[in-house]
A and B are shown apart, each in its own frame.
Chain A
Amino acid sequence: MIHVTIFLPLVFGVLALLRPTGARALGLLGAAVTLVLGLFGYAAFLDGASAAYSAPLLAEAGVYYAVAWDGVGAVLMLAVVITTFLALLAARDVPPAMVGLTLMMESGLIGLLAAQDLVLFYVFFEATLIPSLLMLGLFGGAGRIRALVKFAIFTLVGSLLMLAGILALRYLGGAPSFLLADLADHPLGGVAGRWAFAAFLLAFMVKTPLFPLHVWLPDFHAENHPSGLADAMGTLYKVGLFGLFRWTLPLFPEAFALFQPWLLALAALTALGAAWTAYAQTDWKRLLAYGALSHMGVGALGLFSGTPEGAVGAIYLLAASGVYTGGLFLFAGGLHRRFGTLDLRPTSGLAKSAPGLAALGLILVLAMVGLPGLSGFPGEFMNLLGVWQASPVWTFVGFLAVIAAAAYALGAYQQIFHNAPDKPAPDLDAVEWQWGALAVLTVVFMGVYPKLFTGPLLTAAETLVAAMGGGR
């Protein structure tokens, strides 16, 4: 079943590309089936079935098609299948080819979360780049080529050097294959370990993203198709924290200990700097890009703290952010459909004519702000709890970033919905009610019952911290 979950979206994606007239129906069907499969997969995983499977892909070179669900992969997989379905439901006036590319991306994302072989992970990680680039290049705005080149070059500088790191890790560390279990038994230390760690770090810092490797992000979002579909998928594609959690920290414990203070500083700087920048934005997508960046900084703080709480918080925040940031991008797409612009300024006083829209926006924004009871809170709380144990100073900076979120996110909300003069617009229509309700349900559920997800995450995080030699 895990194979079906991984490859079904790809099949539907190719079908949707071949049949442009029925693309939306095919896309929704594919995403819905995948969503159901994902939910069943998670339920089975909670019952103790990891669905592990392994077959040689390139046996002579030690590469396996090895997939399985563990706590981290399964939770993030849920975020992927839910958000993809939401996105395809919400973005109804996109070119048909975009639907196909979205499903292809979903396949790649689920695959990279399930991969238990480092090379297989790399293949999925890079393969996801192709539909992402095509979406930006084919359907982006006027400056798309510039944004595309920036995005591609940043990603490739990171990932190609990581490939060198992958090879060094195996041959210098002496592992018999690229399987996670084998690699974890042969962590790489010393000078070589530091270089290889730096290569991995570079790749995942680009994809987290962390300052100063984040510069591709605002352009990527600003130039993508205004429907928000590509942005939601792009948000899911920011798997840097996941890559660090599963493929970097446990394999280079020695190098991480050496780099830890610097990494904490970078993460804190990202969190605060991005929040500051977000406050100055007047464009929805840029604001969301910087806001999400700030949250990733908070997540990275938690992960780099080297504590189980911090690590759980990082992944939980990543999963939650996939849903609420993705939802906000789609929400911005809805505003664009109404007003033909993503600028914050000309739209105001919407709450009077479109109260449903205002409520949906408010809930998503509050989830981003980290209001207790919504999905952003548990992750942020655990992150800061973890950082506190490592460094109270950086915790303070992290707090500032979280507080700043209230300023920029609520500020934007107020600008659109409550400032006078009124600018009437139609309220939520049927489709928007559907995806809005689903998004709110997810956000609330993740906020009030995080235990369903943090249980498995904690097991994984404790294994991670044990592999890192107890952190610090």
Chain B
Amino acid sequence: MTALLILFMTVLATTFAGFFAPARTTKALTLLGLVAAGVGLALDWGTTFQAFEGLYLLDPFAQGFTLVMIVGGVLALLADCDVHERRGWPPFEYYALVAFAVLGGHVMAATLHLGVVIVGLEVLSIPLYALAASRRDELGYEASLKYFLLGAVAAAIFLYGLALYFGATGGFVLGVAGEGLIYSAAVMMLLAGLAFKTALVPFHWWTPDVYQGSPTPVTLFMATAVKAAAFAAFARVLASVGLGGPVFYALAALVLLTVFWGNLAAMVQGEAKRMLAYSSVAHAGYIAVALFGPNPGPAMGYYLLAYALSTGLAFAVLTQLDEGRGVRLGELAGLWSRSPLLGLGWTVALLSLAGLPPLVGFWGKYLVFLEAARGGQYLLVALALFAAVIAAYYYLKLLAAALFARAEKAAKVTLSGSTPVGIALATLLVVLLGVLPGLGYGLFTAAAALPK
């Protein structure tokens, strides 16, 4: 409960602080609030807490996923950079909206009531529509509008599923067994609605455009925190309905389509943000692989943390290079000599995303595949791993573009403000949690089985 209250207070404080104080203060306030919320989570780590007659359920599962959202939010705040600030971006609303979105995500994760899920979903989504357009340029408007229209459709599908769910079970709370055509339709629509937000193929069409058009720190936030929130709800719905019959095949199809299409489409991109957007689609597939296991919570949570750190790091590096039109692969050349910290961060992030040990991304992959193997899905594991080879190809391409290509113009990139802290911290964590995987996984194994 502490975490929820702290997040709520943060939202209120940052919304109004901007009118009286410079944006820098709002940023500090938001960071403080997010870290305090993390501490609040840590104090009650591993325990279950209920409030509002069960509408709010802070179990270890929700704690793990909220932690990932906080990590994503903190990285997004740390990475917003002076390159943009000189042009009056980000405005103070940026920080308040990030806090709103984390609050929404937390609510989505910490409930079994579908009505509360939709409230959380909207509190999460609406700030994002604004954030996508916050740079006030054509690309941002386009991204925002696309995100809004498709997000609204997704929410509508989810709501329709919710209505059918009520019709089939007589309630809004997950975990009531149901049967029949209406119940199946309800489940499918709920999952489809959430699959939009998690960006599983074929519900991913918005992802590349929105990720590319949004300001890079916003993209960072979408790729990390938003994905964690959406997957929390997705996993809860799936845990309550079970993996029988059509749901199993639907999920298997989603996973395989996602890992193959996401990785194949990423291969042919010429712009780094778009490439990473497709990569984030593919990673959604890998996260979903864990859902085939008997107890997906810890593996998913760990994968999300690993992925949030790695992809967050990659986007944080891109933030420093993005002049508002994205980053062509050729513009990455000579990154190491332009700024060693960016070069190191980029290398570590990409190798981790490619799943090479001893970086945290490897253990994420290992754990989700282990979970699926426990569930007996060896063929799925082999196919998904095969898709990871395709992924390795374009991560190498990105790495080669930055490190191995000789640069013609090598203007130094100077980092200032909170940026070097954010990048150094994320790099350190990606390596440290990779060398000592028990450190991070221990957090998530506190999470017991998902309540059915």
Interface residues of A (CB under 8 A from B): 56-61, 63, 119, 122-124, 126-127, 129-130, 133-134, 137-138, 144-145, 148-149, 152-153, 156-157, 160-161, 163-164, 167-168, 170-172, 192, 195, 199
From residue 370 to 419 of chain B, which have CB atoms closer than 8 A to chain A?
Answer: 370, 373-374, 376, 378, 381-382, 385-386, 388-389, 392-393, 396-397, 399-400, 403-404
* Extra A-B contacts (19), CB below 8 Å, given A160-B385, A164-B385, A171-B373: A57-B436, A60-B441, A61-B441, A126-B356, A126-B357, A137-B399, A137-B403, A144-B404, A148-B404, A149-B393, A152-B393, A153-B389, A156-B392, A157-B389, A161-B385, A163-B366, A163-B369, A164-B369, A167-B370
Query: Which residues of B have CB within 8 Å of A59?
Result: 438
Q: Does B358 contact A (CB under 8 A)?
A: yes
Query: Which residues of A have CB within 8 Å of B389?
Result: 153, 156-157, 160
Q: Contact check: which of A57, A122, A171, A199 meets B437 at CB < 8 Å?
A: A57
Q: Does B362 contact A (CB under 8 A)?
A: yes
User: Could you tell me the distance between the alpha carbons of A124 and B441 in the complex, rounded to whole angstroms?
Assistant: 20
Whether A138 contacts B403 in the complex (CB less than 8 A), given A123-B362, A160-B385, A168-B378, comes out as yes
Q: Contact check: which of A126, A156, A167, A195 meets B362 at CB < 8 Å?
A: A126
Whether A129 contacts B356 in the complex (CB less than 8 A), given A58-B437, A156-B392, A163-B366, comes out as yes
Q: Are A160 and B381 in contact (CB under 8 A)?
A: no
Q: Does B169 contact A (CB under 8 A)?
A: no
Whether A161 contacts B382 in the complex (CB less than 8 A), given A144-B404, A153-B392, comes out as yes
Q: How far is the CB of A310 from chain B (nearest CB, A)?
A: 31
Whether A148 contacts B400 in the complex (CB less than 8 A), given A58-B363, A123-B357, A126-B362, comes out as yes
Which among A157, A172, A199 has the highest number of chain B CB atoms within 10 Å?
A: A157
Query: Which residues of A have CB within 8 Å of B174?
Result: none
Q: How far is the CB of B427 from chain A (nearest CB, A)?
A: 14
Query: Which residues of A have CB within 8 Å of B392?
Result: 152-153, 156
From residue 420 to 452 of chain B, which have CB atoms closer than 8 A to chain A?
Answer: 436-438, 441, 445
Q: Are B441 and A160 in contact (CB under 8 A)?
A: no
Q: Are A167 and B378 in contact (CB under 8 A)?
A: yes
Interface residues of B (CB under 8 A from A): 298, 347, 351, 355-358, 362-363, 365-367, 369-370, 373-374, 376, 378, 381-382, 385-386, 388-389, 392-393, 396-397, 399-400, 403-404, 436-438, 441, 445
Q: Are B441 and A130 in contact (CB under 8 A)?
A: no
Closest residue of chain B to A168 (Cβ to Cβ) is: B378
Query: Which residues of A have CB within 8 Å of B378?
Result: 164, 167-168, 172, 192, 195
Closest residue of chain A to B438 (Cβ to Cβ) is: A58
Interface secondary structure of A, over-half rule: helix
Q: Are B400 and A160 in contact (CB under 8 A)?
A: no
Query: Which residues of B have CB within 8 Å of A157?
Result: 386, 389
User: Could you tell me the distance between the alpha carbons of A163 and B445 in the complex, rounded to whole angstroms?
Assistant: 22
Query: Which residues of A have CB within 8 Å of B376?
Result: 171
Whether A138 contacts B404 in the complex (CB less than 8 A), given A61-B367, A119-B366, A167-B381, comes out as yes
User: Could you tell me the distance between the alpha carbons of A168 and B396 in the complex, rounded to whole angstroms?
Assistant: 28
User: Could you tell me the distance between the alpha carbons of A199 and B388 in the complex, rounded to whole angstroms?
Assistant: 15
User: Could you tell me the distance between the alpha carbons of A472 and B381 in the complex, rounded to whole angstroms?
Assistant: 32
Closest residue of chain B to A151 (Cβ to Cβ) is: B396
Closest residue of chain A to B363 (Cβ to Cβ) is: A58
Q: Are A164 and B404 in contact (CB under 8 A)?
A: no
Q: Contact check: which of A60, A133, A138 meets B445 at CB < 8 Å?
A: A60
Q: Are B358 and A61 in contact (CB under 8 A)?
A: no
Whether A57 contacts B356 in the complex (CB less than 8 A), given A137-B403, A163-B369, comes out as no
Query: Which residues of B have CB within 8 Å of A138?
Result: 403-404
Q: Contact check: which of B397, B399, B404, B438 meets A56 at CB < 8 Å?
A: B438
Q: Are A152 and B396 in contact (CB under 8 A)?
A: yes
Query: Which residues of A have CB within 8 Å of B367?
Result: 61
The 3 A-B residue pairs whose C-beta atoms are closest, nearest first, are: A167-B373, A123-B357, A137-B404
Whether A137 contacts B400 in the complex (CB less than 8 A), given A58-B437, A161-B386, A171-B374, comes out as yes
Q: How far is the CB of B165 from chain A (nearest CB, A)?
A: 34
